[in-house]
């Protein structure tokens, strides 16, 4: 008997950002690489993205798939399908883009205006994303491509799972991936009427969250499976300490919740080819790294002293990242002979405090406030240690980038940091306290002074494989299980 191979699984990924077009954090890196890795592993993958100007501009020869309106305040909505133009390394899979100028054609960030405040119509902007995701998944918008699975990322796309659940005829299953539970997409309860969902969904076992409307809860309550981006964070979020108030919902769904570690796009993060670097290197020959360090010291106004370990941070400056701990520990780090280089933006008080630290310690502390993709590569290549002292960290990518660049991670043992860094590749501390950070830093600095030990750790770290293919295989297994297919 001959067996007919099953057709490739069709999966629609819905998300709000994609590297390199629109990026506020690691979510964009994931959306720019995971679909590609899944396609390479044999799945039939498409993306759904909001038509933010940078995204619309990047799609070559988009084909009109659907035209409609008025929806969520937008008179005109056109769903277009295309591939990204050459040179956009984000990905090669096909993308549906929601061209809805009323909601998306504006300058500013994907979630906030230029004044840093959330867009007033975020409810409409991301309800449309979810609505379109579900209608595509149900075969309503593009009958030529009916996905088996809708894979929605973070609160921005979470309502896709709710719309799908509300439709009795939809055969597609859904997966919701939590990239960060701290951002839930909360709106006034009264706005629920604008969504066009069944009233019964506005209950605590649905979208209701302490008198508010939570988009995130749409994913948590209505997706068939839940994932997050590390096994440790998957456990942590079922506890009050990390559960952001939805630990009860997550505990109740523990059997459907799993953690799959993010990967690294090594075509973009490779010190032997990285075009952003002044010199190249690999695990066999790290000479180029010394040149990267000297260049970084110059670029950040640090004394060009090869013996001083450079501790670097590349991060959003937010409560999550624990950088107040780094500030408090700074005097001790400097007393140990370290230099400090930080590239980040976010919280105004932290931005000011780091700028003041740089002014107080010329030649020892260098600060760049802002967001700069190529500078991030140079900082990660040139530093000796990459510091990630997060209070919580769903996965974290910068420690993985650091490892590939022979820049040893100094991290808090939490979430994905605990799952990716060990004593042979980096340095860990437990308490979210400056003294614990300082103690681990002291140990790290001491270790770095031993050239053999340092070299051994760098080689271990650089040769760890955190590429996307392994993560893609885990997602594929999950998809197959969800569809009742053989693993
Ligand atoms: P999160 O998504 O919580 O911000 P991750 O570690 O998963 O944390 O991803 C952060 C991503 O954003 C990485 O690609 C990192 O290099 C990048 N990044 C963070 N801050 C900056 C910055 N100021 N300039 C350039 N890149 C940054
Ligand atoms: C979130 C998390 C981060 C994770 C990223 C991509 O922004 O804060 O830990 O790496 O999403 O999944």
**Which parts of 7-76 are beta strand (E)?**
10-14, 44-50, 59-68
Q: Indicate the length of the chain as a whole number.
A: 487
Domain positions in the chain are: 10-263+469-483, 287-465
CB of 421 within 8 A of CB of 410?
no
Pick the CATH number of 287-465 from 3.40.50.300, 3.40.120.10, 3.90.180.10, 3.40.50.2000: 3.40.50.2000
In this chain, the answer to whether the domains covering 10-263+469-483 and 287-465 adopt an identical fold is yes
Could you give the angle at the alpha carbon of 46 between the alpha carbons of 41 and 49, nearest 5°? Answer: 135
CA distance 358 to 348: 15
CA of 284 relative to ligand 2 center, distance in Å: 31
Ligand 1 atom 12 nearest Cα: 25
DSSP strand pairing (208-209 vs 212-214) = antiparallel
CB of 312 within 8 A of CB of 342?
yes
Mutate to test the pocket of ligand 1, among 90, 343, 376 (most ligand atoms within 8 A of CB): 376
CA distance 400 to 417: 9
Whether omega before 20 lies within 30 degrees of 0, making that bond cis, reads: yes
Question: 344 CB under 6 A from ligand 1?
Answer: yes
CA distance 96 to 210: 35
Q: Measure Cα distances from 377 to 22, 27, 345 in Å.
A: 18, 18, 16
Question: 91 CB under 6 A from ligand 1?
Answer: no
Of the bound ligands, which one is closest to the alpha carbon of residue 232? 2
Q: CA nearest 389: which of 458, 313, 310, 464?
A: 313
- Nearest atom of ligand 1 to the alpha carbon of 395: 7
- Nearest atom of ligand 1 to the alpha carbon of 368: 23
Of the bound ligands, which one is closest to the alpha carbon of residue 378? 1
pLDDT tens across the length of the chain (487 residues)? 567 778 899 999 999 999 999 999 999 999 999 999 999 999 999 999 999 999 999 998 899 999 998 999 999 999 999 998 764 554 679 999 999 999 999 999 999 999 889 999 999 999 999 999 999 999 999 999 999 999 999 999 999 999 999 998 889 999 999 999 999 999 999 999 999 999 999 999 999 999 999 999 999 999 999 999 999 999 999 999 999 999 999 999 999 999 999 999 999 999 999 999 999 999 999 999 999 999 999 999 999 999 999 999 999 999 999 999 999 999 999 999 999 999 999 999 999 999 999 999 999 999 999 999 999 999 999 999 999 999 999 999 999 999 999 999 999 999 999 999 999 999 999 999 999 999 999 999 999 999 999 999 999 999 999 999 999 999 999 999 999 987 6
Question: 371 CB under 6 A from ligand 1?
Answer: yes
Ligand 2 atom 12 nearest Cα: 179
What pLDDT sits at residue 4?
Answer: 73
Question: 62 CB under 6 A from ligand 2?
Answer: no
Question: 262 CB under 6 A from ligand 1?
Answer: no
CB of 65 within 8 A of CB of 81?
yes
Mutate to test the pocket of ligand 2, among 37, 397, 414 (most ligand atoms within 8 A of CB): 397
Q: Is CATH 3.40.50.12280 the right assignment for the domain spanning 10-263+469-483?
A: no
What pLDDT sits at residue 24?
Answer: 95
């Amino acid at each position: 008997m001959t067996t007919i191979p099953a057709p490739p699984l069709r999966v629609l990924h819905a998300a709000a950002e994609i590297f390199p077009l629109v990026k506020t954090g690691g979510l964009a890196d994931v959306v720019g690489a995971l679909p590609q890795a899944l396609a390479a592993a044999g799945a039939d993958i498409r993306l759904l993205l909001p038509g933010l100007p940078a995204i619309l501009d990047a799609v070559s020869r988009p084909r009109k798939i659907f035209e409609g309106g008025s929806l969520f305040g937008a008179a005109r909505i056109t769903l277009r399908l295309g591939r990204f133009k050459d040179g956009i390394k984000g990905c090669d899979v096909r993308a549906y883009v929601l061209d809805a100028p009323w909601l998306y054609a504006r300058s500013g960030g994907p979630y906030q205006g230029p004044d840093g405040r959330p867009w007033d119509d975020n409810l409409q902007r991301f309800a449309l994303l979810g609505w379109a995701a579900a209608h595509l998944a149900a075969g309503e918008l593009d009958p030529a491509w009916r996905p088996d699975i809708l894979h929605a990322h973070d609160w921005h796309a979470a309502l896709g799972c709710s719309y799908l659940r509300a439709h009795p005829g939809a055969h597609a299953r859904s997966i919701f991936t939590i990239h960060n539970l701290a951002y839930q997409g909360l709106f006034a309860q009264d706005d629920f009427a604008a969504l066009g969902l069944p009233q019964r969904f506005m209950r605590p076992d649905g979208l209701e969250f302490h008198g508010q409307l939570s988009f995130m809860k749409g994913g948590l309550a209505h997706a068939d499976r839940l994932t997050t981006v590390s096994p440790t964070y998957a456990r942590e979020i079922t506890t009050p300490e990390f559960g952001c108030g939805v630990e009860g919902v997550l505990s109740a769904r523990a059997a459907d919740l799993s953690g799959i570690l993010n990967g690294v796009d090594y075509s973009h993060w490779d010190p032997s080819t990285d075009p952003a670097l002044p010199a190249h290197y690999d695990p066999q020959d790290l000479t180029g790294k010394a040149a990267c360090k000297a260049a970084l010291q110059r670029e950040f106004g640090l004394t060009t002293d090869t013996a001083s370990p450079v501790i670097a941070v590349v991060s959003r400056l937010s409560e999550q990242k624990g950088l107040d701990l780094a500030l408090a520990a700074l005097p001790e780090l400097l007393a140990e002979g370290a230099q400090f280089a930080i590239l980040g933006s976010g919280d105004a008080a932290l931005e000011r405090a780091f700028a003041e630290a740089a002014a107080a310690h010329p030649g020892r502390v260098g600060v760049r406030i802002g967001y700069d993709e190529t500078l991030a590569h140079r900082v990660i290549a040139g530093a000796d240690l990459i510091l990630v002292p997060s209070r919580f960290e769903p996965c974290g990518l910068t420690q993985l980038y650091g490892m590939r660049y022979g820049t040893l991670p100094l991290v808090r043992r939490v979430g994905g940091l605990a799952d990716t860094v060990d004593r042979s590749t980096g340095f860990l501390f437990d308490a979210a306290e400056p003294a614990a950070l300082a103690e681990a830093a002291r140990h790290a600095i001491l270790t770095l002074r031993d050239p053999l030990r340092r070299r051994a750790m760098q080689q271990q770290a650089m040769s760890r494989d955190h590429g996307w293919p392994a993560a893609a295989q885990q997602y594929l297994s999950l998809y197959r299980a969800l569809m009742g297919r053989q693993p």
